[in-house]
Amino acid sequence: MKIRKIEVFHMNTANNKMNSPIGCRIYTDTGLYGDGEAGMAYGTGGSAAYGMVCDLAELIIGMNPLENEVIWEKMYKSTFWGQNGGPVVFSGIAAIDVALWDIKGKHFGVPCYTLLGGKMRENLRCYASQLQFGWGKIDEPQVWATSLEDYASNALLAMAEGYDAIKVDFFDRDEAGKSLNSLEQTGLLSPKKLNMVEARIKAVRDAIGPDVDIIMENHSYPDAISAVQLGKLAEKYNIWAFEEPNTPSVKTSEYIAKNLSIPIANGERIFSRWQYAPYFEKNLIQLAQPDIGNCGGITEVKKICDLAYIYDVAIQIHVAGSPLATNVALHLEAAIPNFTIHEHHVANRMDTSKGLTKFNLQPENGYFTVPELPGIGNEFLQSAIDNSYERKVIE
């Protein structure tokens, strides 16, 4: 079997304010095809990731799609920028790698978790992610939190669906709903700002009670100084994990770890096993969050998970892509011993995700079951591919 052609597409969504997924479909000479996704589709830089997938595709036409390790090494070592690369390189590799795993599963007639060694659990606990953006009905606009009542209400909506864990960014906007900038989120924070954050945490904790886990999101916006101030607030409310406290670097992470007792979650801006290694070795992350779409795909993230296991680091795959990314994460999470919880992002409930993929899996009572179809068990709809605003075929 050989790779015959690769189609790369930058997709339109019902609500482009959130993201525009970047996908690829790899076609083989046997008629099988597989789909993958580059994670660098939100924020700024999606056109670079799209271009990287196109460039990498040219390297692998004619290769055997079952040889994912061989292809991964070629993409990593034959690009000049692969070694110690960042999100552009690794998201490009990821899109192609996931599509290869999809083909491999279909070729052997098994789900990807079987190829990864088998299913260690039937059900995967998950949390409702990014409640500051709302938690309303699926495929409908969400209510962004501004007031204390909004924060509490969104948490209660998630609880009503059976979730016993949530994630909220309490410090991304002011009391009027205006987004905070980097100058307002770094350095020594004023008592007014700290009181605002604490009031929001307290409103949520009081609403949901002591038994629901809260992950406090920071999106890497604070610096080490403000992160410690915020973390000390979080400790008072039994926050389960303190996510992305600052822009990750080993030295500043050491400062934060030294000054806080709260578990640290981090990893969506760390892109390979080489980059993760010093964080694990120094015990700077307790909950690692690699993004399969930004960390080189299943091939690389499985190695990151295995490395984390050596250091007793728990795993939660970062999931903020299309519904395709949900399927991919569930397969890997099911197959590793150090899985802890799955992220279910509010974006997968928004109209942003409508009409993109064959399936848009949703948990029941706060738990996912693992997809059982061959491969990753999902694919982009042809109508969504046809509606892409950028599209290229490499043969």
How far is Cα 186 from Cα 46, in angstroms, rounded to an integer?
27
Q: For the chain, give the percent of residues with pLDDT over 90.
A: 92
Rounded mean pLDDT of 70-90? Answer: 96
Mind listing the pLDDT tens digit for each residue in 224-277? 999 999 999 999 999 999 999 999 999 999 999 999 999 999 999 999 999 999
Q: Is the pLDDT of residue 17 over 70?
A: no
Query: What is the band of 138 on the pLDDT scale with cuts at 50, 70, 90?
Result: confident
For residue 16, what pLDDT is reported? 62
Query: What is the band of 7 on the pLDDT scale with cuts at 50, 70, 90?
Result: very high
| Nearest one of 185, 217, 220, 225 to 200, comparing CA atoms | 217
- The burial of 196, by beta-carbon neighbours within 10 Å (0-12 exposed, 13-18 middle, 19 or more buried), is given as middle
Query: What is the band of 102 on the pLDDT scale with cuts at 50, 70, 90?
Result: very high
Q: Answer yes or no: pTM beyond 0.85.
A: yes
For residue 15, what pLDDT is reported? 63
The two three-digit tokens of residue 313, written as one number: 């680091």
Mind listing the pLDDT tens digit for each residue in 268-324? 999 999 999 999 999 999 999 999 999 999 999 999 999 999 999 999 999 999 999
For residue 132, what pLDDT is reported? 97
Rounded mean pLDDT of 114-126? Answer: 98
C-alpha torsion angle, residues 221, 86, 307, 231 (rounded to 10): -10
Q: How many CB atoms lie within 10 A of CB 101?
A: 27
How far is Cα 314 from Cα 264, in angstroms, rounded to an integer?
11
Domains and CATH numbers, the chain: 3-109+380-394 (3.30.390.10), 115-369 (3.20.20.120)
Instruction: Report the side by side order of strands in the sheet with 3-10.
Output: 33-38, 22-28, 3-10, 390-394
Mean pLDDT (the chain) is 96
For residue 18, what pLDDT is reported? 56
How far is Cα 376 from Cα 99, in angstroms, rounded to an integer?
9
Q: Is the pLDDT of residue 352 over 80?
A: no
Q: Is the pLDDT of residue 153 over 60?
A: yes
CA atoms within 13 A on the CB side of 357: 27
For residue 192, what pLDDT is reported? 98
Rounded mean pLDDT of 127-148? Answer: 89
Mind listing the pLDDT tens digit for each residue in 28-62? 999 999 999 999 998 889 999 999 999 999 999 99
For residue 308, what pLDDT is reported? 99
Q: Is the pLDDT of residue 166 over 70?
A: yes
For residue 354, what pLDDT is reported? 82
Query: What is the band of 140 on the pLDDT scale with cuts at 50, 70, 90?
Result: confident
